[in-house]
Amino acid sequence: MTRIAAKFADLKSQGKSAFVSYIMAGDPDYDTTLAVMNGLPGAGVDIIELGAPFTDPMADGPTIQLAGQRALDGGMTLKKTLQLVTEFRKTDDTTPIVLMGYYNPIYSHGVDAFLVDAKAAGVDGLIVVDLPPEEDSELCIPAGKAGIDFIRLTTPTTDERRLPTVLPNTSGFIYYVAITGITGSGSASPETVGREVARIKQSTDLPVCVGFGIKTPQDAAAMAAVADGAVVGSAIVQKLADGDSVETVLDFVKDLADGAHSA
């Protein structure tokens, strides 16, 4: 059983939804990222999404775009992102880590070499937002063969005609994007999201986690109540952008996690 599957099974046995947190590798610097990562499980985070910075982050809003630029300006690379995972695994061998980013850095690294390196580092899943299902042979299928889950995004516009194309090679969980648009923008009603999650779950046994537009513990609780998990990214990244200490960021994350777990 993969770390991701084991985590969802454990949460289900407790009657809880997952809390998934996103941070950008290298923002504001390598050491701070590692310190935050090391503190996330203790703050209640069930799954860590680690952003790999890229020069053209088309799916990301201003908060995460700026975080990626700061990381790149500081010399962050895909290799160093994997090094962060390796360092994290020295003290935590159970918390799932999902690498989230874009295909170009992986392609430049070499797909086969990347999958070997990612697996060795301790990466459990990938979210690659610019690789559609029609390109599954590029990375999705090889990742599955390497034992790394490939997590697919679905959106309010992923209808019954599109779902059968999206789901077949997806594993780990489904990431439902609650709004149409970029990260950090807008919000969706729990009632609408609940209907969409139920619709998706008619076609898959995978857990469905909801992200985009979740900013407060109340938001996290509301979304976790209608899904298998809540994902928060921009609100956490903004705390780091504001210069908050690691302890302050982790306190904020704990409040979010408590909200999600209260659902």
Q: Which residues are marked as active site?
A: 49, 60
* Residue 240 exposed, middle or buried by CB count within 10 Å (0-12, 13-18, 19+): buried
Order of all β-strands in the sheet with 208-211: 149-150, 125-128, 97-101, 47-51, 18-24, 229-232, 208-211, 174-177, 152-154
Q: What is the DSSP letter of 181?
A: S
Evaluate whether 167 touches 160 at the Cβ level (below 8 Å): no
Alpha carbon distance 53, 43 (integer Å): 24
Amino acid at 47: I
Evaluate whether 46 touches 259 at the Cβ level (below 8 Å): no
